[in-house]
Amino acid sequence: MAIRRAKRKTNFTIISNVGLRDSSLSLKAKGLLAYMLSLPDDWVFYETELVKHSIDGKASVRSGLRELEGNGYLIKQQERSSDGKFQNVDWVLHDEPWTDFRSTDKRSTEEPTTDKRSTENQPLLNTDSTKDLNIPNTDNTKDIMSGKPNDASIPYQEIITYLNEKANRNYKDTTPKTRNLIKARWKEGFSLEDFKTVVDNQVSEWQKDKYWNKFLRPETLFGTKFEGYLNKPKQKAPGVKTRKWE
């Protein structure tokens, strides 16, 4: 069978082949994984919303989610209040199976009270309550605001100022979550020019789109899809429009 791929400059997603070629997953689970990875990093996760975008029913989508959870691609982490009581549940999506997911789930059920050590060592999530499907960020918030020499070299202000000017926004460069994202990408080896290129690419594609315009923000641009945004062609193909979800 021959495979013909159209050359695209917009409306495409770069994801790992690991999940797509995982023989332990059904084709349904692979398709669901690919679809969720194509969404913005700060997309709000709702099971009912997933059902709206396919012909599968709720039971089918739910079984696919359970399959991804059982194989370590979708991790459920339960928040706790200051008195140790369970609160909201965060869903964290991985493009490759997370090998420590079973031990994490075990700890959450066996330790009903807040443990100081686990609180300090657990990876931080780039989330607001339960809304984001992000890979855990291992940077510690204390390091972000500590003023250490390696942190002082990161141009937080210049990056956010550039975003505000290009996207007509008013974000602060002192917000811990924003700094967490920028620092994570900086530690991966990306430069100031890379941040500016990502802003330019996505402003060019999303600024005039009523739906996607709202994603011109740090948690989307500087999240786990940063490298994909960076490597997009700088010029949008003539006549190509961004698809909107119904």
Give the tens place of pLDDT for each residue, 129-187. 333 444 344 343 333 333 343 577 899 999 999 999 999 999 999 998 899 899 989 98
Quick one: 104 and 149 in the same domain?
Answer: no
153 and 215 both lie in a single domain: yes
By the 10 Å C-beta count (0-12 exposed, 13-18 middle, 19+ buried), 115 is classed as: middle
Looking at residue 150, its pLDDT comes to: 56
74-78, 176-180, 241-245 — most confident range: 176-180
Same structural domain, 124 and 164: no
Do 123 and 173 lie in a common domain? no
CA torsion through residues 144, 152, 181, 188, sign? negative
Structural domain that includes position 157: 141-230
Torsion of CA 100, 102, 104, 108, to 10 degrees: 180
The model's pTM: 0.41
